[in-house]
Structure 1
């Protein structure tokens, strides 16, 4: 019962954190508030939660990575794929090597493979944490897309490097050739399995629903199970479950463009996934705070083994690693920008040099969060011979400190760097949204007229059908020429029933037009998702 009480207390802390972050006048990031609440829970219950690393990894990572892939704006991903790959792959390797040697130099008692593992797990960034900070100040959407794409891919690359480093720490050996071949299998098989699982499940679900029907909650439950199925299958075949979950999420976004799911299902599923994301992210940070006292004691013992009797060295290590990570990121971003400008100059393309504050903001935006927290908790508790894993508590504590310091640095630095900065206008998004609305309205009017002709079989109610159709068409006509609709007061109940049938026909055509534009890359995922959600909400009323 004590464990159940701790779990319920953590869930309550997640709920409370959402209110406290709005009440506290200091504008603290949500993760910091959740960590403090976790520490309070540890003090009240006077004991910590013993975690099974593999269980922790399985429960938290697949759904979060799946959702990242599902909601990632693919147009931004493909438009800036070069920059994103530089950050997600090149910067991760640069960080693992540079920060790994820095950590080992600072703490000789920490073996080099463990130092590399710590460097790998603090390399992924968390866009959820940085978006909670940048919500108070303007930030270019293109930069946010780059940060989101980077976090999606560097989650996978950082965690794969982390697993190789942990394997080297457990076995005591590392072969570059063997690791390269293993990486190819792990990556390609993981991606293929993630795509295959989503396509197979979606096809099976569609076939079963067409032939036998389904419960309204089944599609939502299936979407929750897909990331776990992809992850477990990939791990079973010695591939990357991490990449499988990411690939499954990206594939799900393409499956969604078919528009076969019911409007009410999409609305309910979005609410469920938002709750899952908020809960899992929150529980991880609350759990982090709950474990802080025991981690601090274990880290202090590890510091004593390195020859430092003063626990204050923990703060020195944490600050040095955080500054080192920021410096490595700044160097990589600055060099990558120079190379990009050089290649653009050679091709004769127009150059727009970003403001230096934007470059520094990109460096500070490397906030660590949920993925780092989930990954570091999976460090083995013991070596194959039963001995304790070397410097595990110290590594977990330092990863925790990096998360906290990166949040504080971004919270203090980003608003000041971005405030007052003139950002380029982005009219393309508004233009494509207007174009999508007009084309969807045109398709809806044509569908309503067809539906009116099919419904108009009883000539005695011809006027009623005409009035209902006119009311519905007028709603769409407003988007085209600004016309106004008139309200009919006669035979209201019967007219509303007819109007509902016509309205549903128009909404279906409107949604199909938006999906068609998205499938042919004429509008962005973000725009199509926004418009489809609006249509779904309206349709749920008429359903």
Structure 2
């Protein structure tokens, strides 16, 4: 297992050089996926991903950091647009794509089609940040996309949970879905805020009494997202939103200047390194999974009544196209609706087609 981890990290290191050596611009995650595929096809290393372990190791620190560093004023300024994308767009996409998948693949039950739609509808905060890091996207648009991707997992998880329940039981309740959503979202946010506040308050008291040690302070910041995530999951709330809320709370706590300047500088370096490593490993692992995905493609296609593997590409392309069209429709309607509400505000401008197109195309689905 250790050698696999070292190979993955070596692939991440290599990707940083390869992306600079290429004569053309290419997003770093795509290079990392290619390196992962090369590792899989040229070596005997195989990684069996356990979803629970994968989520626990990678999501809490990365989402915590995104929540910590996202500009809070921009988040509050565009809160209505972000919430419309994070909640309304996910539900709109799940319904539209679910019906389309069932129409495209009649052998797939309706509930299963909705479950698949719930998986692919939310945008991925890690993928959005990684893909857009080297892409010239306007800052305000980028902040909206980051805010959307940080918050839309709760709505996606609720849709997925009830699609699975409908597939197993044949029943669906809007009231139960609404209650579950409130529990997942508000519970996760409350736990994230509470965990961060309690830990930082305790840490501050101890530092004032006994002095501050940089190593311990940095380690505490690394442990906070895991504490928030695990506690939220323990109470059947959204661990993802708990990690995000913990990061946002951390940024407000930092305003009080609890940590020394030297500690903040060292901590920032550690988090930058961790972000690069974890982001890279995620995409290298995604590439490493390609042989298994390709191997299972034929069986999947045959289950739909076809015998040519390229039908899977047609299905994937058609679903991706519908995802893009539905997102474009919602983004256009959302931005224009917000413009109508804010028309009286100074500096308010009708969103251009370019902005709508950028926000539609930049809704990245992740690993």
Smaller-chain TM-score bracket: over 0.9
Q: Mean Cα displacement is larger for which, 183-192 or 133-142?
A: 133-142
Partner of 1:192: 190
Q: Alpha-carbon deviation of 1:264?
A: 1.3
Partner of 1:181: 179
1:354 aligns with 2:351: yes
- Checking the alignment, whether the CA contact within 8 Å between 2:154 and 2:181 is kept in structure 1 is no
- Checking the alignment, whether the CA contact within 8 Å between 1:344 and 1:350 is kept in structure 2 is no
Specify whether residues 231 and 164 from structure 1 end up closer, same or farther in structure 2 by C-alpha distance, changes over 3 A only: farther
- Checking the alignment, whether the CA contact within 8 Å between 1:190 and 1:240 is kept in structure 2 is yes
**In 1: Cα distance, 2:263 partner to 2:185 partner:** 33
**In 2: Cα distance, 1:239 partner to 1:128 partner:** 21
Partner of 2:257: 259
**In 2: Cα distance, 1:136 partner to 1:294 partner:** 30
Q: Alpha-carbon deviation of 1:122?
A: 2.2
1:12 aligns with 2:38: no
Partner of 1:113: 111
TM-score, length basis structure 2? 0.93
Helix, strand or coil at the partner of 1:110:
coil
Among 156, 163, 169, which residue is 1:165 paired with?
163
Partner of 1:69: 67
TM-score, length basis structure 1? 0.64
Helix, strand or coil at the partner of 1:192:
helix
Q: Alpha-carbon deviation of 1:359?
A: 1.6
**In 2: Cα distance, 1:131 partner to 1:49 partner:** 25
Partner of 2:213: 215
**In 1: Cα distance, 2:284 partner to 2:135 partner:** 27
- Checking the alignment, whether the CA contact within 8 Å between 2:324 and 2:361 is kept in structure 1 is yes
**In 2: Cα distance, 1:137 partner to 1:199 partner:** 35
**In 2: Cα distance, 1:133 partner to 1:251 partner:** 26
Helix, strand or coil at the partner of 1:353:
coil
**In 1: Cα distance, 2:236 partner to 2:50 partner:** 20
Partner of 2:227: 229
- Checking the alignment, whether the CA contact within 8 Å between 2:35 and 2:287 is kept in structure 1 is yes
Specify whether residues 139 and 199 from structure 1 end up closer, same or farther in structure 2 by C-alpha distance, changes over 3 A only: same
Partner of 1:338: 336
- Checking the alignment, whether the CA contact within 8 Å between 1:48 and 1:294 is kept in structure 2 is no
**In 2: Cα distance, 1:213 partner to 1:273 partner:** 23
Q: Alpha-carbon deviation of 1:93?
A: 1.1
**In 1: Cα distance, 2:113 partner to 2:186 partner:** 27
1:153 aligns with 2:151: yes
Partner of 1:202: 200
CA offset digits 1:143-163 (Å, max 9, x no partner): 222122222212443344334
Q: Alpha-carbon deviation of 1:8?
A: 1.1
Partner of 2:84: 86
Rg: which structure is higher?
Answer: 1
Partner of 1:45: 43
Q: Alpha-carbon deviation of 1:173?
A: 4.3
- 1:142-541, aligned counterparts within 5 Å? 142-169=140-167, 173-345=171-343, 347=344, 351-369=348-366, 373=367
Q: Which runs of 5+ in 2 are unaligned?
A: none
Helix, strand or coil at the partner of 1:239:
coil
Q: Which runs of 5+ in 1 are unaligned?
A: 374-543
Helix, strand or coil at the partner of 1:232:
helix
CA offset digits 1:215-247 (Å, max 9, x no partner): 321111111111111111111112221211111
Q: Alpha-carbon deviation of 1:129?
A: 4.7
CA offset digits 1:116-172 (Å, max 9, x no partner): 233223223346655666566643322222122222212443344334434544555
CA offset digits 1:349-406 (Å, max 9, x no partner): 665223322221221111222xxx2xxxxxxxxxxxxxxxxxxxxxxxxxxxxxxxxx
**In 2: Cα distance, 1:278 partner to 1:360 partner:** 29
Partner of 2:138: 140
**In 1: Cα distance, 2:133 partner to 2:206 partner:** 43
**In 2: Cα distance, 1:365 partner to 1:273 partner:** 25
CA offset digits 1:445-485 (Å, max 9, x no partner): xxxxxxxxxxxxxxxxxxxxxxxxxxxxxxxxxxxxxxxxx
- Checking the alignment, whether the CA contact within 8 Å between 1:29 and 1:129 is kept in structure 2 is no
Q: Alpha-carbon deviation of 1:114?
A: 3.2
Q: Which has the higher contact order (CA 8 A, sep 6+)?
A: 2
Helix, strand or coil at the partner of 1:124:
coil
- Checking the alignment, whether the CA contact within 8 Å between 2:85 and 2:148 is kept in structure 1 is yes
- Checking the alignment, whether the CA contact within 8 Å between 1:186 and 1:240 is kept in structure 2 is yes
- Checking the alignment, whether the CA contact within 8 Å between 2:29 and 2:131 is kept in structure 1 is no
Q: Alpha-carbon deviation of 1:46?
A: 2.9
